[in-house]
Amino acid sequence: MNSWTLSYDGFDPGEEGRREALCTLGNGYLATRGAAPESTADGVHYPGTYAAGVYNRLTDTVGGRTVENESLVNLPSWLPLTFAAEGGAWCEDAEGLDQRLELDMRRGVLVRRWRVRDAAGRTTAVTQRRFVHMRHEHLCGLQTTFTPENWSGRLLVRSSLDTMARNHGVARYGKLADTHLRPLSAELVGERCVLVVVATNQSQIRVAEAQRTRLFRAGAELDVPRETVREPSRLGHEFAVDVTAGEEVTVEKLVAVYTSRDRAISDPDTAALNRLAWCGDFDELLAEHELAWRQLWRRFRVSMRDAEPRALRTIRLHLFHLLQTMSGHTVDLDAGVPSRGLHGEAYRGHVLWDELFVFPIFNLRVPLLTRALLRYRHRRLPWARRAAWEAGHSGAMYPWQSGSDGREDSQRLHLNPASGRWIVDPTYLQRHVGLAVAYNVWQYYQVTGDREFLGEYGAEMIIEVARFFAGLAVYEHERDRYVIRGVMGPDEFHTGYPDAPERGVDNNAYTNLLTAWVLARALDVLRLLNEQSRAELTETLGLRPEEPERWDEISRRMFVPMHGPVISQFEGYERLAEFDWSGYRSRYGDIRRLDRILESEGDSPNRYQVSKQADVLMLLYLFSADELAEMFGRLGYELGPDTIDRTVDYYMRRTAHGSTLSAVVHAWVLARNHREQAVEYFLEALRSDIADVQRGTTAEGVHLAAMAGSVDVLQRCFAGLETRDDALWLNPYWPRELGTIEFDIRYREHSLTLRISGAGVQVSACVGHQPPIRLSCRGREVLLRPGETVEFPEPAP
């Protein structure tokens, strides 16, 4: 089995959505689902195309309430291409004999081979290759080669652009407004080109798509007559070409896409036409595209010689989709990390906290990209400040879901498909998203040592988040501790207490502990800045001397709920009813989305000790046991010897894994003491999308955080890579059954190659002139200089 290729044989309407999502091609600027070029959005196929950061808002009335939703916009499809033997049906209406779809991840090319037979028995073999260019981010290409097998005559080919598109990729949103585009123009330009221009109807983003279609036989361009195809929602060309049985004819369609958000252009229309006029042919572009992928894969290399090929292929698939959602092109885009990639319309393309799982992959390979993604957050401080102010606090309250400008865009009502009812959605109470932003800034700084970023942007974000959480924390005399009331933790099953649903819970351990941690980092940040920067920032933010004092106090007196040796998910979690897991499992089978099941029964997860996903256990994902002990110590608590184990055990028995993030976190927390189970969860995380474990959700977009997180389990958990205290730490819990892993990272301007196996760890630094770095493995610390290799053999059992 080839670990670089994902392939599907045959056609299965029930599987089509998932295949399209998994065969999406993209380059960080735009992405197009792997839909068949002749298909239309018909309930089976969904040829979606999305450009990073292109959002639009629409309003609806639901149950007498006005709701406004912002969505990543589905752009006119650039794919349409169909053919027929003259007098016969167009291929979409003819008989498809066999089809093989191959996603070549090494080259970033989707190959489709199939045969089509019309009613007259004329059979044509077809091979299609397509790319979304990884170097020239505005260019997409589709090359189709036809071979008539048993007939000679006229072949008709239609190549067009859609002139309109709607967002209807998610059935649950089906009753809501879906028309984001306004057609502006659709014209033929010169002999070969078509230009389609649309604009989003609220955000006023202009989008231009230009196409050029050419025909070739034996490498020579054919000058055949072309007719205009003008349909209500299509504009293109139709060609008629004489073909002979057994002889190939090739049609090459190149498309350029620009939007008014782009830089270095005058207007999108001219830019698209010029780009097309200046670019080479399909094969030349393909060669450059493949080179760009070769270089990317070099940087994101993960080699596991003895790994099970299926697992390795999925790891590659996960990296592949990550690199297609965010790439070097993102750096100039002002775009965030959409939780479902640029692959579908779930969560409306919103940005949530998922970047917490994504950044570690980029921090260690393309820190410039993380920096850009953090700048996206920095630019949205005005909305976050406004939100904090409206909530009665200072600082910045980052939104749970957002897109264009950083305002809160979480839906206030959602449809439960299990009951058909619209339900109040209070998930915006997940204030912890701001803590994740601050955590990410700190991690970026730890990996890169980039003080310039910290001084210019990072410190401001950490301090503003700290300020907000310091405001949220209230001192309670009886306890002599600070508490945070009325928030939601990562577990979305608990929106409140049974008698007060939708008002949040009190003292979510994850939120409280991270608050204490962020406040301590805010103090560190102030110490790290030089005197001038500190004075300037203090002045700009109007920071009062008593504020850092208060942060210090809260960071030492925050309340952490416990019951016995177990950290409570929130205050009172342990007093909720126990849930009948086996009863529900036998009744429903799949009970990952217990929230939907219970609501449809008129019940609510708020009544039970059930968690959708890792919540308390997130702490063990973000911090090592030593760090957690230190955090508890600072708070004046003792982390008992069995607290971690008992806590893990407690929540393992109460978690439904209704989010794909859960398996990632469980693999992580089990790695230390329960390797076999950890590997099981790791394999489950790998199955998230390729097996569509959430049944139907992959078709609506991939689970980017689970994709990144599963790769991160290898590097930071099993391989035990940590970046803290200005040093690189390696404390592997490497499962021997995974063989040997080799991967490359960048740390403080060094390029390092790490090799980890059951036998030990080897780190090599690339030749260069950087100052040495501190490297610590299982208590042994060394200085590693450019060009050196150091080995840490596994201690004897």
Residue 385: in which H helix or E strand, if any? helix 381-390
Q: Which C-beta is closer to ligand BGC: that of 354 or that of 722?
A: 354
Nearest approach in angstroms of CB 765 to ligand BGC is 36
Among 195, 705, 721, 752, binds ligand BGC (CB under 6 A): 705
- The verdict on 490 binding ligand BGC (CB under 6 A) reads yes
Q: Which C-beta is closer to ligand BGC: that of 417 or that of 758?
A: 417
Piece of the chain touching ligand BGC by CB under 6 A; list 62-70, 162-170, 305-313, 351-359: 351-359
Nearest approach in angstroms of CB 754 to ligand BGC is 29
Q: Report how far Cα 566 is from the mean position of its chain's Cα atoms.
A: 32
Q: How many residues does the chain have?
A: 797
d(CA 241, CA 247) in angstroms, rounded, equals 12
Strands (E), 477-524: 481-483
Q: Which C-beta is closer to ligand BGC: that of 117 or that of 340?
A: 340
Among 353, 376, 383, 608, binds ligand BGC (CB under 6 A): 353
Nearest approach in angstroms of CB 683 to ligand BGC is 20
Strands (E), 603-749: 721-724, 727-730, 741-747
Strands (E), 89-179: 95-104, 109-117, 123-132, 139-148, 153-162
Nearest approach in angstroms of CB 354 to ligand BGC is 5
Nearest approach in angstroms of CB 746 to ligand BGC is 27
Q: Which C-beta is closer to ligand BGC: that of 612 or that of 716?
A: 612
Piece of the chain touching ligand BGC by CB under 6 A; list 23-31, 348-356, 573-581, 754-762: 348-356
Residues in 508-537 at the binding interface with ligand BGC, rule: CB under 6 A: none
Nearest approach in angstroms of CB 398 to ligand BGC is 13
d(CA 759, CA 753) in angstroms, rounded, equals 16
Q: What is the dihedral of CA 595, 598, 599, 600, to 10 degrees?
A: 120
Angle at 145 between CA 140 and CA 148, to 5 degrees: 155
**Which residues on adjacent β-strands are paired with residue 146?**
126, 249
Piece of the chain touching ligand BGC by CB under 6 A; list 152-160, 280-288, 345-353, 745-753: 345-353
Piece of the chain touching ligand BGC by CB under 6 A; list 35-43, 347-355, 501-509, 571-579: 347-355
Half-sphere exposure of 179 toward its Cβ, with a 13 Å CA cutoff? 4
String of DSSP letters for 161-203? EES-------GGGTTS----EEEEEEEEETTTEEEEEEEETTT
- The verdict on 700 binding ligand BGC (CB under 6 A) reads no
Among 339, 363, 446, 757, binds ligand BGC (CB under 6 A): 339
- The verdict on 39 binding ligand BGC (CB under 6 A) reads no
Nearest approach in angstroms of CB 58 to ligand BGC is 21
d(CA 20, CA 36) in angstroms, rounded, equals 8
Among 56, 144, 568, 613, binds ligand BGC (CB under 6 A): 613
d(CA 249, CA 152) in angstroms, rounded, equals 12
Angle at 320 between CA 453 and CA 138, to 5 degrees: 75
- The verdict on 685 binding ligand BGC (CB under 6 A) reads no
- The verdict on 403 binding ligand BGC (CB under 6 A) reads no
Identify the sign of the CA torsion 344, 350, 356, 360.
positive
Non-local CB neighbours of 278 within 8 Å, separated by 6+ positions? none
- The verdict on 697 binding ligand BGC (CB under 6 A) reads no
The answer to whether 31 and 328 have CB atoms below 8 angstroms apart is: no
Nearest approach in angstroms of CB 492 to ligand BGC is 5
Q: Which of 137, 492, 547, 722 is catalytic?
A: 492
d(CA 228, CA 239) in angstroms, rounded, equals 9
The answer to whether 557 and 482 have CB atoms below 8 angstroms apart is: yes
Region for residue 699 given its phi and psi (left: phi exceeds 0; alpha: psi -120 to 50; beta: otherwise): alpha
Angle at 504 between CA 550 and CA 402, to 5 degrees: 85
Piece of the chain touching ligand BGC by CB under 6 A; list 119-127, 350-358, 383-391, 588-596: 350-358
Q: Which C-beta is closer to ligand BGC: that of 260 or that of 495?
A: 495
- The verdict on 74 binding ligand BGC (CB under 6 A) reads no
The answer to whether 722 and 624 have CB atoms below 8 angstroms apart is: yes
Q: Which C-beta is closer to ligand BGC: that of 143 or that of 511?
A: 511
Q: Which C-beta is closer to ligand BGC: that of 73 or that of 707?
A: 707
- The verdict on 199 binding ligand BGC (CB under 6 A) reads no
Q: Supply 138's token pair.
A: 């505005």
Among 352, 472, 484, 591, binds ligand BGC (CB under 6 A): 352
- The verdict on 170 binding ligand BGC (CB under 6 A) reads no
Residues in 661-680 at the binding interface with ligand BGC, rule: CB under 6 A: 661
Task: Give CA separation, 326 vs 347, 372, 553, 750, in Å.
Answer: 18, 10, 39, 23
- According to DSSP, the β-strands at 750-757 and 773-777 are unpaired
Nearest approach in angstroms of CB 697 to ligand BGC is 9
Q: Which C-beta is closer to ligand BGC: that of 436 or that of 644?
A: 436
The answer to whether 29 and 331 have CB atoms below 8 angstroms apart is: no
Q: Which C-beta is closer to ligand BGC: that of 100 or that of 695?
A: 695
Among 20, 252, 354, 450, binds ligand BGC (CB under 6 A): 354
d(CA 461, CA 375) in angstroms, rounded, equals 10
- The verdict on 399 binding ligand BGC (CB under 6 A) reads no
Q: Report how far Cα 698 is from the mean position of its chain's Cα atoms.
A: 12
Residues in 643-662 at the binding interface with ligand BGC, rule: CB under 6 A: 659, 661
- The verdict on 411 binding ligand BGC (CB under 6 A) reads no
- The verdict on 440 binding ligand BGC (CB under 6 A) reads no
- The verdict on 268 binding ligand BGC (CB under 6 A) reads no
Is 492 a catalytic site residue?
yes
Among 492, 684, 689, 700, binds ligand BGC (CB under 6 A): 492
Identify the sign of the CA torsion 198, 204, 207, 208.
positive
Positions touching ligand BGC (CB under 6 A) are: 339, 347, 352-354, 490, 492, 612-613, 659, 661, 705
Residues recognised as catalytic: 492
